Structure 1
Amino acid sequence: MSIHVDTVSFAAGNTLIVDGVSVAAEKGKVLGLLGPNGSGKSSLLKLICRLRKVQSGVIRLGDDDIASIPRAALARRIALVEQQATTETQVTVMDVVRLGRTPHRGPLSSWSTGDDSAVAEALSRVGMHDRAGQLWHTLSGGERQRVHIARALAQTPSELLLDEPTNHLDIQHQLDILGLVSRLDVTSIVALHDLNLAAMFCDRLVVLQKGRVIAAGIPEEVLTADLIAEVFGVRACVEKSAVHGRCNIQYMASGA
């Protein structure tokens, strides 16, 4: 496995946020994290990239405990795309994506042709190369999200973590962003709210509730009407889509 979370727990004050979670992300595949607000999805992503400290359990990248990996080396390997990262500074698309090279450069090192190549390739992969000189604040929400992913790709990571990458985006941009992620040759863990998008683009799913794993497996095994009712509190009909072959969820109005 590329990322292996083994019985990990994390608390904020007296509140247990992540409670004995075990998760395995297969190399080169997309793992979706599902669950209601407060279920621990964002906290788990931050634990994996060591923005939060594990209180018990172990997180491994390959065979290595992340606690033993120097921060610079970890930053070169794992890239995190957080929700709605923004800035008021007058920066260009190129400026933002160049930040992705920070883990690869020492305090006194000069910008290299290798850095240029990594940035150019990242911009091309998200279809934003022709916007390199455009000011950040003039971009749409979907374009900004593409640039954030480009910044992460400029790190040349082997693991990519995304926290609600489709939040507040229109349908077209939701499909574009997740389609892009599913085609990348990296291990991806994506926290999502939309169950249909998770079914379409994720190879495997993990469902969290109150910090615990409730279910894990391929979408067809995990996304059942009973689980959706138990975890999300809604009635749903789950059928195989005639369009993409994955499960499709239709929600039922209360009282219907």
Structure 2
Amino acid sequence: MSITIDAVSFAAGDTVIVNGVSLTVAKGKVLGLLGPNGSGKSSLLRLICRLRKVRSGVIRLGDDDIASLSRAALARRIAFVEQQSTTETQLTVRDVVRLGRTPHRGMLAPFGAEDDAAVEEALLRVDMQARAGQLWQTLSGGERQRVHIARSLAQAPGELLLDEPTNHLDIQHQLDILRLISKLGITCIVALHDLNLAAMFCDSLAVLQKGEVVAAGAPEEVLTEDMIGRVFGVRAHVQKSAVHGRHHIQYVLD
């Protein structure tokens, strides 16, 4: 399903965090959400999955206004991978991934073959099947992130939101995770800091600054030297990569 954000605003008290944002993500495409710290990226993701309530505007999944969906229906549609998530409960890696199946089962319903298959496939896709029986608390930060992505995949969502999913990951797993996300074939919005990774793996980009969209479109349209200077405050040289064919940013030191 597509995601449509129409003139959405959100405020915390008197402070406006998201201000009149309008964006559309086509079905099966990946939108990279960029912007400096405090630009509203995380807040916008939370508005889409209704962890925050919009002050004005409408968010739709396909033709459905999220305000009209029950919590259960929304949980079956959309998965959210946050930057940080922790628990003191003693859970194995498989236990954590199995939580992704909760929206598809009744409160007391036992796990079925379909649930088990979804869990094992999700573990395989993030290369964590060998750690399935290991306690989640014993994992590194990057390994925990991969497990949370596996949990979201086990959920079998129509829409997937990810807030800085490459945080704590080494270079190999950054590339592996974003390559995986780009090939899922489901509608994704992923907040990123790395402009080069965004250019490599996202179908389109949107740049937020102080809660407003200041640039949106194809990566080659958005990632200009002028935009990078204005929004991120750094000088950069942008050119097409001879390796992957996407735009590549080289930062210029003064």
- Common fold by TM > 0.5: yes
Provide structure 2 residue ranges, at least 5 long, that are not aligned to the other structure: none
Is the contact between residue 92 and residue 134 of structure 2 (CA under 8 Å) also seen in structure 1? yes
After the TM superposition, which residues 53-132 of structure 1 pair with which residues of structure 2 at under 5 Å, given as runs? 53-132=53-132
* Partner Cα distance (2:140, 2:181) in 1: 19
SS at match of 1:59: strand
Aligned-pair CA distance for 1:215: 0.5
Is the contact between residue 98 and residue 154 of structure 2 (CA under 8 Å) also seen in structure 1? yes
SS at match of 1:148: helix
* TM-score between the two structures when normalised by the length of structure 2: 0.97
After the TM superposition, which residues 236-255 of structure 1 pair with which residues of structure 2 at under 5 Å, given as runs? 236-253=236-253
Aligned-pair CA distance for 1:141: 2.6
Aligned residue for 2:137?
137
* Partner Cα distance (1:88, 1:122) in 2: 23
* Partner Cα distance (1:176, 1:122) in 2: 14
After the TM superposition, which residues 92-241 of structure 1 pair with which residues of structure 2 at under 5 Å, given as runs? 92-241=92-241
Which residue identity is paired with 2:71? R
SS at match of 1:115: helix
* Partner Cα distance (1:235, 1:170) in 2: 26
Aligned residue for 1:30?
30
Moved over 4 A (4+): none
C-alpha root-mean-square deviation of aligned residues, in Å? 1.2
* Partner Cα distance (1:86, 1:64) in 2: 31
* Partner Cα distance (2:179, 2:186) in 1: 13
Moved more, 124-133 or 240-249: 124-133
> How many residues are paired up?
254
SS at match of 1:189: strand
SS at match of 2:90: coil
* Partner Cα distance (2:161, 2:127) in 1: 20
Which residue identity is paired with 2:190? V
* Partner Cα distance (1:168, 1:51) in 2: 24
Is the contact between residue 142 and residue 167 of structure 2 (CA under 8 Å) also seen in structure 1? no
Aligned-pair CA distance for 1:143: 2.0
Moved more, 199-208 or 172-181: 172-181
Aligned-pair CA distance for 1:234: 0.6
Which residue identity is paired with 1:155? Q
Which residue identity is paired with 1:151? R
Q: Percent identity?
A: 78
Which residue identity is paired with 1:229? G
Provide structure 1 residue ranges, at least 5 long, that are not aligned to the other structure: none
Note the alpha carbon deviations across 1:117-162, whole angstroms, 9 max, x for none: 2211211222222221112123233322111111001111011100
Aligned residue for 1:51?
51
Aligned-pair CA distance for 1:201: 0.7
